[in-house]
Structure 1
Amino acid sequence: MKIDLSASLSPRRKALFSDSHSASPQVARRQRWMQALGAALVVTALAACSKSDGDQKAPPKQDVQVGVVTLQAQNQQLDASLPGRTRAFLTAEVRPQVSGIIQKRLFTEGAQVRQGQQLYQIDAASLKAVEASALAAVAKAEASQRTLAATARRNAELVKIDAISKQANDESQAAAAQALSDVAVAKANLETARINLRYSRIEAPIGGRIALSAVTPGALVTANQANALTTIVQLDPMYVDFTQSSSDLLQLKRDLESGRYQKVEGNKVPVRIQLDDGSDYPHEGKLAFAGVIVNDTTGTLTLRAEVPNPEGMLMPGMYVQAKLPTALAPDGVMVPQQSVTRDLAGKPNVMLVKDGDVVERREIEVDRAVGAFWLLKSGLKAGDRVMVDGFQRVKPGDKVKAVEVDLKAKAERKSVRGEPPVQAAADAPAAPAKK
């Protein structure tokens, strides 16, 4: 491109420019300034031309790529997650049944004990003496009874020949019967003494794990004292007691009666346990008891599950979450939680890719969370495509390039790379086959 600098100058400036050799120093400086200005105009014109050429060669704008998930209808099992505490299957507090001095402790604290195993030995010297006295009393009563019985037999023969009066015979017969009763009393006392002697050997009433001992050898204990010597708990299986809100139970009954949900079949309801650290307990339990009385303070019902505990992982008093199936949602539509956002009013909505790959914002209504999905109530249907990735790059009305996303495969890839697992993808709802 050729540019004539003289064309942009006035006639007066042209004269000054042509007469530069004869001009004064002030005129020379003015001429140099005009030359610099002309050079700047040339650079500006060239830059404008270059920019115009570049704008004409810019590539056309492409559609933004977004990740979508196509919704499907499936039979979805609904679970209730309820807080609970573990309880020992059997608990026995060991107390002495006779008084005396503890001579020996015959178990290791915290160890496993079997039913009938000796735990303590009480000094039995006085109890043995009582047994010997009772044994002598039995012998004395039996000797007296034999004498009186012989007298009664003789008198019974003599009264037949009127050798003695009837009164004498009656008195001898009564004395023999009383002697027989005295023998029975003496034998009962002997049995009591022997029982007390056996109680000096304190044994485990049940099998299980034994706690700390509250007494040491040399301690004086009394029969049926308030303080237990130790406690034994049976930990396999374990009970889990949890509570359910009465209002939630009423709502579930209404949904079942209306046909919205279907009742879970089976007599034994399976119960899954989640530990306090968030991990899943490996063994599944069964619902053993459902309460019929609502607590007037908390408004909840108590339920109990029986859970196997072969490894002893569960201990009494642990806080857990019990998950049990409550109903079945036929043809339920599940929406990934990562696709749902809420507006300023708190209403849930999703970005929907309609036919023609155009983005639309759709307000929806959700029922409950199932894993990392929402169970849909209204607003979407099976076959709709909802966005799960690329929200920041588009707005409603934009045309996009929709790419189907496999959430489960994505979670598995993150797991291989060592990234935190995405529960929304890993725990996709597993629904039973449609009938």
Structure 2
Amino acid sequence: MQRLNLKGSVALAALALMAACSKEEAPPPPPTPTVGVVTVAQESVVLTSELPGRIAAVETSEVRPQVSGVIRDRLFTEGAMVRAGQVLYAIEDAPYRAALASAQGQLGAAQSQINATRLQAQRYGQLVALNAVSKQEADNATASAQQARANVAAQQAAVQSARVNLGFTRIKAPISGRIGRSIATVGALVQTGQTDALATIQRTNTVYVDVTQSAAQLLDLKAAMASGGVTRSDGSARVQLLLPNGQTYPIEGRLQFSEVTVDQTTGAVTLRASFANPNGLLLPGMYVRAKLVEGTRTQAIMAPQEGISRDPRGGATAMVVNAQNKVEQRTVVTDRVIGDKWIITSGLKPGDKLIVEGLLNLRPGTTVKPAAPQQIGKAAAQGGNGAGASAAGNTQAGK
């Protein structure tokens, strides 16, 4: 009996020892994770749109011949600046000089007939009163005098036409600007109404930039301006240019107008801006990107991009810390990116604590310790535990 009690005491002691050992080996509860938060506030931001565009000259003129003939001389240098009225080509003018001389001779002959027919009409008018000639003969004399005057007018018009054609043998620049290459050389035959232009002149001291904007964006902007959410300081929006090499054009442009119709194939509206081009840096046909300053949105809610993620369906979501320091997931609607922030139109309100660091493996309902974003790394260094190191790792992953 004593032996059984001894065995039972030993067993109880072993169980107590095992319970004490297991209680000592139980892991401590995980520490509360620290997350970096920013407080959402309303800001006044400048709205910009970056749109593709092409440069076009303010004035473009294609030089074509107005009379046919052989080019005798080319009087300009390709790529040079020309002024309006400057002679560019000389067409062989001998046939046109001869045509002018012939017209002038015919005019002289017609003018010589005026006096003779006029005097004859006067004499017949006197004789018909004396019944010396018939009235028919007097009428014929009067008609001959009128015909002579009409013939003079016709010959004068022929002389003027011949003189104009002679002037067209000197092909002049219709506008001032920079002239391109010449497709015709000395000795080439050119004809009136030909399809190909001899050269093209473009005035580029000021250029147009034609950009396209979706009709939906334009409607949203007008609606925001009508509601007072977006204001514009002046009547024309400012425009900046991004050149093909990535540099920003140093001179700011102005929006001139927007097209009155929407392109049926693309659903876009064409906008035209003008830019000063004193150094000729902007060339017609150049592809650029125009940054259009649309206006200023007042009381905009801005959220750092680090705090906005996407769900499997592509919707924007955000994690916020509520008053009980628990994580809440919000579905938000984003408008556009300004710098490193999203404009949020719904889902967040001023005063919300948006989590921007420590988002990895974070679940809604988790109790967290909010801190300024730059303090996450310090907390990990001071804690020296696995949770702190994990928070620091999350910070790097978020970045």
Q: Which residue of the other structure, out of 212, 218, 232, is the alignment partner of 2:201?
A: 232
CA distance in 2, matches of 1:311, 1:69: 47
Out of 345, 366, 369, the residue aligned to residue 336 of structure 2 is: 369
In the other structure, the counterpart of 2:54 is 85
1:154 is matched with: 123
- Tell me which of 259, 262, 271 is aligned to 1:303: 271
Which of 363, 369, 390 is 1:399 aligned to?
369
Aligned residue type for 1:238:
V
Residue type at the aligned position of 1:298: T
In structure 2, the residue matched to 1:197 is 166
Contact 1:65 1:403 in 2 (8 A): no
* Aligned partner of 2:149 among 163, 180, 183: 180
8 Å CA contact 2:45–2:300 kept in 1: the answer is: yes
Equivalences for residues 10-159 of structure 1 within 5 A: 69-159=38-128
Structure 1 residues 143-173: Cα deviation after superposition (integer angstroms, max 9, x where no partner): 1112212222333333344443322222111
| Contact 1:155–1:169 under 8 Å retained in 2 | yes
Aligned to 1:272: 240
The CA deviation string for residues 50-73 of structure 1, in whole angstroms up to 9 with x for no partner, is xxxxxxxxxxxx999987655432
Residue 312 of structure 1: SS of its match in structure 2? coil
Code of the aligned partner of 2:136: Q
Percent identical among aligned pairs is 41
* Structure 1, gaps ≥5 residues long: 1-61, 406-435
Return the letter of the residue paired with 1:324: L
Question: Alpha-carbon deviation of 1:291?
Answer: 2.1
Which structure has the larger Rg?
1
Separation in 2, partners of 1:335, 1:213: 57
Q: Describe the superposition over 1:344-376 as per-residue Cα deviations: whole angstroms up to 9, x where unpaired.
A: 5544445657779x6846535142224322111
CA distance in 2, matches of 1:348, 1:310: 46
CA distance in 2, matches of 1:120, 1:186: 29
How far apart, CA to CA, are the structure 2 residues paired with 1:326 and 1:128? Answer: 61
Q: How many residues align?
A: 343
- Does structure 2 retain, via aligned residues, the 8 Å contact 1:96–1:223? yes
CA contact (8 A) 2:38 2:372 kept: no
Counterpart AA for 1:90 = E
- Amino acid of the structure 2 residue aligned with 1:226: T
Judged with a 3 Å threshold, the aligned counterparts in structure 2 of structure 1 residues 401 and 292 are, in CA distance, closer, same or farther, namely closer
| 1:333 counterpart residue number | 301
State the partner residue of 1:46: none
Report the AA paired with residue 338 of structure 2: G
The 3-state SS of whatever aligns with 1:172 is helix
Residue 89 of structure 1, CA deviation: 1.3
Would you say the 8 A contact 2:212–2:270 is kept in 1?
yes
The offset of 1:201, in angstroms, is 0.5
Identify which of 118, 130, 140 aligns with 1:171. Answer: 140
3-state SS of paired residue (1:85):
strand
Kindly indicate whether the alpha-carbon contact (under 8 Å) linking 1:112 and 1:209 is maintained by their aligned counterparts in 2: yes
Matches within 5 A, 1:238-253: 238-253=207-222
> Relative to structure 1, is the Cα distance of residues 280 and 371 closer, same or farther in structure 2, using a 3 angstrom cutoff?
farther
State the alpha-carbon separation in 2 of the partners of residues 157 and 285 from structure 1. 81
Q: Any idea what SS the aligned residue of 1:193 has?
A: helix
Q: Aligned pair in 2 of structure 1 residues 388, 106: CA closer, same or farther (>3 Å)?
A: farther
Question: How much is the aligned-residue C-alpha RMSD, in angstroms?
Answer: 3.3
Deviation string, structure 1 residues 312-357 (Cα, Å, up to 9, x no partner): 222111222233344543311222324434455544445657779x
Shift of 1:121: 0.7
Gaps of 5+ in 2: 1-30, 376-399
Name the counterpart of 1:53.
none
TM-score (norm. length: structure 2)? 0.74
Q: 1:65 to 1:314 in 2, by over 3 A?
A: farther
Q: Note closer, same or farther for the CA distance 1:157–1:370 as it changes in structure 2 (3 Å cut).
A: farther
The 1:398/1:267 distance shift into structure 2, 3 A limit, reads closer
Once structures 1 and 2 are overlaid, which stretch shifts more, 206-215 or 387-396? 387-396
| 3-state secondary structure, aligned to 2:372 | strand
Distance 1:266 1:154 in 2: 81
Q: Residues 356 and 373 of structure 2 are in contact (CA less than 8 Å); yes or no, is this contact kept in structure 1?
A: no
Residue matched to 2:250:
282
SS of alignment partner, residue 367 of structure 1: strand
- Is 1:314 the counterpart of 2:285? The answer is no
The 8 Å contact of residues 237 and 295 in structure 2, kept in 1 or not, is answered as no
Of the structure 1 ranges 161-170 and 307-316, higher mean CA displacement relative to structure 2 is found in: 161-170
Which amino acid letter does the alignment assign opposite residue 103 of structure 2? A
C-alpha displacement of 1:274: 2.7
Q: Contact between 2:36 and 2:370, CA under 8 Å: does it hold in 1?
A: no
Q: Secondary structure at the match of 1:87?
A: strand
In the alignment, the residues of structure 1 paired with residue 80 and residue 35 of structure 2 have an alpha-carbon distance, to the nearest angstrom, of: 61
Cα offset, 1:187, TM superposition: 0.9
